[in-house]
């Protein structure tokens, strides 16, 4: 997979070691965010994906979509969000992953950043994930605290050079740090590499039946967003164990 070579051999080996030690199927099934559980079929996540995928397929997003993602993620001050009621927006439409990485995927953040005020890296990346889950994942504070610089001592996991801050009102990913948004590209490469490894010779993704019935997933095939879901579950468990 040429698009993953920029990860470097040592990081690829660390990712493979993580996959050897942890069952992503169990982590995926163990994901919990409010009513979104595997047993429930991830209902809110599923609906966001249905809505945003359809809109972006027709090359637009609405303020309603942005607010819905923010409320789902429990953004502290949704009322601060300012954006057009309808905005033009499109993403890479092909299935060739190598072509996808020829231009930094993080470039898709720019039109969102230019149009939307009141959200930062976490929610911008969530919008991309729900819009095109086969190619984009989300990066949030839990993931950065475990896989980035936030908690670098957790099982030696330092896959990213991103940092997080807590200024007294909760964790956030500072947008004005040298490696944002380039480290989002790295995160996407990590997710693609892990998905490739799982699909190649490991095990199938246990998607809820509803995802298959709606045509959101190909049965058993790991997408980037599925890996993101499993790693978020892992990060949540690690942080809970520390608290």
Q: Report the chain (243 residues): mean pLDDT per 10 consecutive residues.
A: 68 94 97 97 98 97 98 96 97 92 96 97 98 98 91 70 87 94 97 95 92 97 98 94 76
Q: What pLDDT does 154 receive?
A: 62
DSSP letter at 147 equals: H
Q: What pLDDT does 200 receive?
A: 87
Round to whole Å and give the CA distance between 107 and 125.
Answer: 11
Round to whole Å and give the CA distance between 56 and 177.
Answer: 29
Distances (CA, A) of 176 to 144, 162, 173: 15, 11, 9
Residues with Cβ within 8 Å of 48's Cβ and at least 6 positions away in sequence, in order, are 68, 69, 72, 130
Round to whole Å and give the CA distance between 213 and 211.
Answer: 6
DSSP letter at 117 equals: B
**What per-residue string of b and e applies to 96-123 under the rule 16 or more CB within 10 Å gives b?**
ebeebbeeebbebbeebeebbebbbbbb
For tokens 């559980």, the residue is 37
Round to whole Å and give the CA distance between 16 and 209.
Answer: 28
């Amino acid at each position: 997979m040429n698009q993953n070579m920029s990860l470097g051999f040592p990081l690829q080996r660390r990712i493979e070691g993580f996959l050897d030690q942890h069952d992503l199927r169990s982590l995926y099934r163990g994901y919990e965010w409010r009513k979104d559980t595997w047993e429930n079929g991830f209902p809110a996540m599923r609906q966001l994906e249905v809505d945003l995928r359809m809109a972006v397929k027709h090359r637009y997003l609405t303020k309603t979509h942005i607010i819905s993602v923010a409320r789902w993620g429990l953004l502290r001050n949704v009322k601060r969000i300012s954006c057009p009621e309808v905005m033009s927006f499109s993403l890479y439409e092909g299935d060739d992953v190598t072509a996808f990485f020829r231009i930094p995927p993080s470039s898709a953040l720019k039109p969102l950043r230019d149009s939307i005020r009141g959200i930062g890296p976490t929610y911008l990346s969530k919008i991309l994930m729900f819009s095109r889950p086969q190619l984009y994942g989300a990066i949030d504070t839990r993931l950065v605290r475990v896989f980035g610089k936030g908690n670098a001592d957790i099982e030696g996991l330092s896959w990213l050079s991103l940092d997080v801050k807590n200024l007294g009102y909760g964790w956030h990913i500072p947008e004005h740090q040298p490696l944002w948004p380039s480290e989002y590209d790295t995160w996407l490469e990590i997710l693609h590499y892990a998905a490739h490894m799982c699909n190649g010779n490991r095990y199938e993704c246990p998607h809820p039946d509803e995802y298959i019935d709606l045509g959101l997933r190909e049965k058993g095939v790991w997408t980037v967003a599925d890996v993101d879901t499993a790693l978020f579950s892992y990060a949540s468990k690690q942080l809970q164990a520390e608290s």
